[in-house]
Every structure is written in C-alpha cells, then in structure tokens.
Amino acid sequence: MPQYPFQLVDVFGETPFSGNPLAVIALDADRDAAELLAITRWLNLSETAFLLPPTKGGADYRVRIFTLDRELPFAGHPTLGSCHAWLALGGAPRHPGKVVQECGAGLIDVRRGPDGLAFAAPPLIRSGPVEPATLTEACAVLGIAESDVVAARWIDNGPGWLGLQLRDAAAVIAVEPARSHNARSDIGLVGLHDASSPFAYEVRAIFSDPYGGLIEDPVTGSLNASVAEWMLGTGQVTAPFTATQGTRLSRSGRIRIEQEPSGELWVGGHTETLFSGVTGAVAIAAT
C-alpha cells in the first residue's frame, strides 16, 4: 500500500508550538474531495493542505486546502505551510527566490527571504460597507454592542471575512464570542496596539465549524492580508510592520507585513516542521 509524506508545520509562531499548526500531505495524484475532507476532519486542525503536481504552466506545485467543513480557494497559513513543506521535501523552484503556488484562487507568488517565506496578498473578492442587519448579527455573536465597533467592512479574499475594528487591542482580546450560532460566521477582529508597542495591532478570527459551533483560529494569513490592506488604506498604520494574533489562545503569532511601492502587499512569518513522517496503513484512492 503506498505511503505519502506527512508534515505538521507550525506557521507564524514566534517560538515552536506558538503559531498555527498545519497538516500537509503530499500526494502523487488528485483525490476525491469527500475523502480529503474526511482526512481533514479526522486530523481536526483548522486546515489541512494536500500537495499535488501542478496543472497550470508556471506553477511549481498545486495545493488543495480544506477546513473542517469545506474546500477553500485560498488561505494564508496553508500557503506558507505548504510552500515550506514542498521545499522541505526537495522541491526546486523554477525561479530563484520565488515559488509559484497553484490553488483555487489561481497562481500565488511566495517569496523566500532572510526572514522566511511571504505570500503576495490576493485581491479581495468582496469589499465595501456591511449591511446593518449583518453587523447586528455579528455583534450578537461576539457579545458586544454595536457602539463598540469603530468601523466595519467586508474584507473577503476567499474565506468570507467580515472585518470589525474595535477601539484597541485590549478590546479585541477581551471579546467573549458565543459558543455556537445557527448561521455561518467568518468574523475578523482588529484593534490597534498603543504607540509604545512594537506591534501594530491585534487580530482575532472567529468562524463556524461544521456543526454550528464557533471556534477561533490561532493565526490567520488570509485575514491578516485583508486587514493589512484595510488598515494601510485608511492610514492607520504604515508598512513594514508586525501584527499579533493568538494572544487569547496563549499563542504568540507574529505576522510580518511589507508593501511594495506599487502597493502590493506581502504577508510573511516563521514556518517550521515540528513533526514529519508518512501516512500509515490507509488507502487514499486516486480519482
């Protein structure tokens, strides 16, 4: 029975076991989505990534990204973790200093620098003001008053993020969201750190699991990409800077944001394989 390389990669952690874990399984051919989702649910991490041979010209590898309830066209920490795993397995990029990932959102550039990997932030697929009823529902989920929200907008680059800015980082950390909700929620919170902090702002990601529960992601690349675009666009921060996430979960996520003169954003952080091996006695049937 064939076995496939498997890695658990810590992404965005300041130290080992302080970021967001990602399971990465390298396959030789595509598989049925239902089977990949079943594997993801069994592993029970926020996301699992499956490395595959590329199908588009110019790509170094292809990745399919699954949460516990669906496949995503793009996600940030799986992008960095997948690239890290692909390189660790001996992947050789076509272009020096740059890896090109193929995913549901298209081709994503990942660059290699002295501070680690960084991905080019994808464009938003939904932006603009939030409908009053949606804001009311989100505040109820979070257990906060609408008056606690400094600003709200759609900042969706794939997963569906609704962005809410609170008065400061302490207010973000203090939020006590509900444990469940009868409709899907994908809420990103942001609050600025005070001027004495070496960090720009704190981020939290609250989203639905497949069973109506609400869970928190330790560190979220896609959300940090769209929050950075928001905060830079409104002049509240200047690049380069570092954001924090995971504080409420006793994690120390550190997300580096850089911006090119052209306006292109890069989202980076530390990646490290903490466990590796091969899949055991399990049949992963090719489609």
What mean pLDDT do residues 165-180 have?
98
Give the model's pLDDT for residue 285. 60
Predicted confidence (pLDDT) per residue in 215-240, tens digit: 999 999 999 999 999 999 999 999 99
| Residue 203 pLDDT | 98
Residue ranges of domains in the chain, CATH in brackets: 5-121+270-278 (3.10.310.10), 126-260 (3.10.310.10)
pLDDT at 287: 52
At 37-48, the pLDDT tens digits run 999 999 999 999
Q: What is the pLDDT of residue 282?
A: 58
Whole-number mean pLDDT of the chain? 95
> Residue 32 and residue 247: Cα distance in Å, rounded?
37
* Positions marked active-site: 47
Summarize pLDDT for 241-282 with one digit per residue, the tens.
999 999 999 999 999 999 999 999 999 999 999 999 998 755
**What pLDDT score does 1 carry?**
67
| pLDDT the model gives residue 198 | 98
